Amino acid sequence: KKMAPALLLLSLAAVFTTVAPAKVCGRPRVSDGVDVSSMKRVFEIGEDVTLSCEQGYSPSTATPPRITCTATGEWTPANLACSPRMCQIPRPLQPFAKGRTEAPFKSVLNFSCDDGYVMVGANESRCLHDGTWSHPPPLCKGVNCPLPKPPREGRIVHDKAVTGTSTIYGQGWTYECNPPKAPSYERGSCMADGSATEPPVCRDVSCSIPPRIANGVITFAVMRQHSYKEKVKYSCLEPYTLEGEAEIQCQNTGNWSSKPVCRAPCEVGIKRGRIFYNGRKIWIEDLRPNRVLHGEHVAFYCKNKAEKCGYPVASTCNDGNLPIPDCYEQPGKIEYNLRSKNLPSEIRMCVAPPTANPTSPPNPA
């Protein structure tokens, strides 16, 4: 009776020994592109698996490698890399591919057309396993609009010759009314939604007496109200310079187009020195009158003291203001009259001027 517990323990040990599971291998861990679709979930020790690449991938080795389930439950190394097949990006689309000329298997190209164009073809294309695209690039065809209707008391002048009964997106035209009437708006076009601009209304329009401009006069015009598209011309008094269009026109809104401005000349604000103006060097006292016109350029001579050479710095007359470069140093009377050969304008010119030359008002001598 005392031996019974020992026998029970031995029998239990025997039970546990017989049901202990054997080592097995799970499905091998492989890199992207390796075909695992036909693999089992569990493999016995010593079982082999031949690895291959999925459709659309190329193997790194010529011979398909084999891996084996070892007694430790691990697989032998898998020396296989699968690279995706590449599709050549269509040449017209390469400028949009950020320098790339190829796309890998499973890539998708999405296409769209600009406003005013409709797509003819597929709106996407996929890189297939054989290195081709599922669809060719589509075409973007301009939207068609019906021919525009002219105003009741006028006509249409097309920018380009039109044939048939329709026009294409982006094409434009001008509306004209029978004189002296003016259209409520002058331009029309074929729009992105396939519709043409509705015709304007022709109406009587006049502009007020032409405005005067400072330091200028109106030429070839009677001081009266003017009708649509009538013009007047301006000129400036000496020595002012006209900026803008010399002629202004009465517009369909009843307003004049932008009038010009007369810009003032500039005085060269130095007492002593030599400048470069109108293609030649001039001593300032020989500039008579001391005046340059608006928009004209004047070069002042500065000195690079380290290199002992001179260099010109340009300045532009802007409506009465001619900035003097900061680097310009006005010479004293003795230096100017007795040692003028040492002035920056007279010594050797520098090969290259300094990188920056700010301008500011001149310092008094």
Domains of the chain plus CATH, in order, are: 86-139 (2.10.70.10), 144-204 (2.10.70.10), 207-263 (2.10.70.10), 274-360 (2.10.70.10)
Residues 6+ apart with CB under 8 A from 190: 143, 144, 145, 167, 168, 169, 170, 171, 172, 196
- pLDDT reading at 73 higher than 50: yes
**What is the pLDDT averaged over residues 62-85?**
92
CA distance 89 to 104: 10
Torsional sign, CA 220, 226, 227, 232: positive
CB of 240 closer than 8 Å to CB of 265: yes
**Confidence band for 356, pLDDT divided at 50, 70 and 90:** low
Three-state DSSP class for 283?
A: strand
Q: Residue 21 has what pLDDT?
A: 57
Residue 299 pLDDT more than 80? yes
Residue position matching structure tokens 């002042």 = 300
Tell me the pLDDT of the chain averaged across its residues: 89
Q: How confident is the model at residue 352 (pLDDT cuts 50, 70, 90)?
A: confident
Note the pLDDT tens digit of each residue in 148-174: 999 999 999 999 998 889 999 999 999
Stretch 321-332: mean pLDDT? 96
Is the pTM above the cut of 0.75? no
In the β-sheet with 297-304, what is the strand arrangement from edge to edge? 280-283, 274-277, 297-304, 309-316
